Structure 1
């Protein structure tokens, strides 16, 4: 076993030999024995293997195994040294890259932040040396590792480095490899998080940033949703998975890439399931947030649906859901109680449902125009909702007026701004429906979509466009406006009712994401000691 002094002597012998260095096989073999020594010997052994590796092909398997052993050393400093030295072995020997990348990918399970950063830096060096070989090793772990943490960190690593390294490393050929391998991963994704992370990688690829690429992204999501599979509303994991998957397709729909198949599936499976979800809603579960999440997805799908089947049936189905959350105005003592205690209305759900109805009914205008009783009932509900909404807006506006930019960024004020946008959207759509006959020309930006800083500032300072109070008189729709008593606004409801949504990440392992492939994987590496997979 070589000591520290002996290792330095052996280093000088080989280094001074220069072109004749390959003749000193015995000296290099003796350097490898340093792995059995103390911390100093083991650290020097790692460095010297990296320095002289290419000169001694007959010892390369043993040297590589020695470095892999040092990557599992009890001493963190030695582990970091070995991890740092691994990419050096691959310079001029790219056939080693997939093996080394495979091992480094498994080391992403490290909890120490400094050690994890060293692993990531070594993987970056490998990507610069041979991107395709590195991706081969990384994707092997993504597809086959039994450790969820390893898979997730491999995907996260790729996502971040595609942005940073750019086209110098991720050229068209490399991007096509990522796309091919990513499709395999998405087919057997174990969890919602893995699916979302992998879609995030594809989003960054230049080859996916065109119409053809967008279509591929939508098709990948469609495969995951599986339109032939019925939705079991009692299986909340499956419902969560549907919402999460479909969200990944939303950015890619346009007047060229239609959402028709998704819309048809939503009306066939989701709309009937809403009642089941509502009936199962309790304080212990998050069904209310899940229902709102589904409605938001449907609202974003509808504008790009194109021609849908059974339009009248779809309009009726959404209209029925809309009536459930848009009550008739109370009468008598109930009205007084409403004035005194306020009312609680589902503003966020109404925005979604009213937007969906407005979009669909524009192609089926007879639904309201040719049914006087239905129109009268609907407008009575609309008028009541508008009056409460406008009173609600007033309170919200007072709460955020004259707030500074920093103050508006607090969680509470963000919710209030979304609530303001929600009620404003509702009033715009209601006003459109109060035309004679009902109009479907108004366009809005849905409240949960990002808003510009200037728009938020206008809301806060009370300078945003105000909407004329909505009134309806069947006998004379153009009577002069008169002062009317309005209902008291909801009390302390906006933090729950307006703009609410599911929080936190779902770790769904429902159908469509595969099954658990095993327990946590922490004990060493696959393919070590020369028994490597064929890459």
Structure 2
């Protein structure tokens, strides 16, 4: 235990060093005073706390002592006494205030301290990092993202990596408007940092980063087409669309479908879905039957939602595969097997939207007689068998659909009676779920009938507008008049 008189002496000397430095017009001449502060940091607890304030305060005036000053300060950060550690952490941003070349090193030190057990210590670390971000956002972000890692520079400490990710997600992202200035330059910088990190992330991390990128103004509603192309390119990279597909690779299937859904908002805004569609057409649809059952529906729903935004060229390429799937899931005759109504709804919707863009492609596929004046009309050939096969299947589907609608309508009446008689909240909740499922089933059936009806004639009009609202989608609310709103290298 140190002598109280020694403690007082150390403190008194530190105040003298500090006062002389404060009063000096050319502080760089007071080398002995600054060296005295560094030396005093190795004495008593109180002296260490005071030195932790003074070392960073006058650091910039003594470049020749920068090494010993930082080393001594780092020793204070490792002190047993919590008060000393916290004071030393609070002083770290001052090392960079006028000497930005130290930012990367100080960020690295603070990152290691994100794992501190004491709340007051972690809080000091968070505040110090935020101070650095406000001092120099570009250099601080660059240093932070190095701890997330990339394929070229992988993170060496998984625990620290997770702490950095949490800090960025919880502290940096929410105040992006305040930190990312000048806006366009800094949004571009953080985008580039994220893109490097996305080479090696889990599924949840990829979604987090994509949600953040979507929120940036450079990717906002007024963003040019090349920005949408950039985002969809990131998602395509995560989906691994250049890889050979293995139907037994459940992780790739999950990643692919997850990425397809993530791509949808950007496709709606004008990004191309060609690479996804070509991959699905070449690798996935041919082995559709071998996909996990729950993934089949996810895939068909995604195809349905993306179909209004396909190009004529992509539509012509993928339409034969969709017709084949339709024939598979639309029974030609009543076989006693249950029909998957949602599959049929998805496929009919996709068929209409693709066919509407390339109507004459259906001449050879379905036996229609649509004239566009193009050589691809193929009107001189006989495709009557295809037409007969399709119309028989359509009729069979309509009969099954009407029979199911009758059962569902009867079921709804029974649900209403049961709801009136239900006593407990649990029973009411169960019946409410059944009613919702029945309502969705009826919507599916109504959609199927609306989409099969125009397909019986030789020259059908395909539905390419928004008149059909897919059964799993919320009904679109009419606009109010103005006079009156993907990394997956890591295992998740």
* TM-score normalized with structure 1 length: 0.68
Aligned pair count? 432
Deviations 1:370-414 (A, max 9, x none): 33322222223333343344455556778899xxxxx99x99799
Aligned counterparts, 1:39-438, within 5 A: 39-110=45-116, 114-143=120-149, 144-160=154-170, 161-166=172-177, 169-170=180-181, 171-186=183-198, 188-209=199-220, 210=223, 211-254=225-268, 256-278=270-292, 288-307=293-312, 308=314, 309-320=316-327, 322-323=329-330, 328=334, 352-362=346-356, 363=359, 367=366, 370-371=387-388, 372-391=391-410, 419=437, 422-437=440-455
CA distance in 1, matches of 2:112, 2:284: 40
Deviations 1:348-367 (A, max 9, x none): 65654454344345546663
CA distance in 1, matches of 2:138, 2:397: 61
| Aligned pair partner of 1:15 in 10, 15, 18 | 18
Aligned counterparts, 1:2-41, within 5 A: 4-17=7-20, 18-20=22-24, 21-33=27-39, 35-37=41-43, 39-41=45-47
CA distance in 2, matches of 1:312, 1:58: 73
Q: Which has the higher helix share?
A: 2
**Aligned to 1:228, what secondary structure does the other structure show?**
coil
CA distance in 2, matches of 1:385, 1:88: 73
Instruction: Sort the Cα spacing of 1:220 and 1:40 in 2 relative to 1 into closer, same or farther, 3 A.
Output: same
Deviations 1:192-233 (A, max 9, x none): 233222223322222222133211100111223233322212
Instruction: Sort the Cα spacing of 1:444 and 1:374 in 2 relative to 1 into closer, same or farther, 3 A.
Output: closer
Compute the displacement of 1:306 (Å).
Answer: 1.8
**Aligned to 2:148, what secondary structure does the other structure show?**
helix
Partner of 1:341: none
Q: Is the 8 A contact 1:350 1:426 kept in 2?
A: no
Q: Is the 8 A contact 1:7 1:41 kept in 2?
A: yes
Deviations 1:452-504 (A, max 9, x none): 999xxxxxxxxxxxxxxxxxxxxxxxxxxxxxxxxxxxxxxxxxxxxxxxxxx
CA distance in 1, matches of 2:180, 2:10: 37
Instruction: Sort the Cα spacing of 1:231 and 1:72 in 2 relative to 1 into closer, same or farther, 3 A.
Output: farther
CA distance in 2, matches of 1:225, 1:33: 57
Q: Is the 8 A contact 2:398 2:449 kept in 1?
A: no
Q: Is the 8 A contact 2:267 2:309 kept in 1?
A: yes
Q: Is the 8 A contact 2:408 2:438 kept in 1?
A: no
CA distance in 2, matches of 1:427, 1:236: 31
* TM-score normalized with structure 2 length: 0.73
Instruction: Sort the Cα spacing of 1:98 and 1:157 in 2 relative to 1 into closer, same or farther, 3 A.
Output: same
CA distance in 2, matches of 1:413, 1:14: 79
CA distance in 2, matches of 1:347, 1:114: 58
Greater shift in the superposed pair: 124-133 or 31-40: 31-40
Q: Is the 8 A contact 2:92 2:106 kept in 1?
A: yes
Instruction: Sort the Cα spacing of 1:13 and 1:39 in 2 relative to 1 into closer, same or farther, 3 A.
Output: closer
Q: What is the CA RMSD across the aligned residues, in angstroms? A: 4.0
Q: Is the 8 A contact 1:255 1:304 kept in 2?
A: no
Greater shift in the superposed pair: 92-101 or 435-444: 435-444
Deviations 1:138-187 (A, max 9, x none): 1211224223343344345445524424056332211121122222222x
Compute the displacement of 1:28 (Å).
Answer: 3.0
CA distance in 1, matches of 2:102, 2:135: 11
Segments of 5+ residues of structure 2 without an aligned counterpart are: 369-386, 479-485
Bigger Rg over Cα = 2
Partner of 1:490: none
CA distance in 1, matches of 2:185, 2:66: 30
CA distance in 2, matches of 1:49, 1:75: 18
Partner of 1:493: none
Q: Is the 8 A contact 2:14 2:40 kept in 1?
A: no
Deviations 1:117-142 (A, max 9, x none): 43332222111111111112012112
Q: Is the 8 A contact 1:298 1:356 kept in 2?
A: yes
Instruction: Sort the Cα spacing of 1:447 and 1:266 in 2 relative to 1 into closer, same or farther, 3 A.
Output: same
Q: Is the 8 A contact 1:35 1:66 kept in 2?
A: yes
CA distance in 2, matches of 1:150, 1:87: 20
**Aligned to 1:232, what secondary structure does the other structure show?**
coil
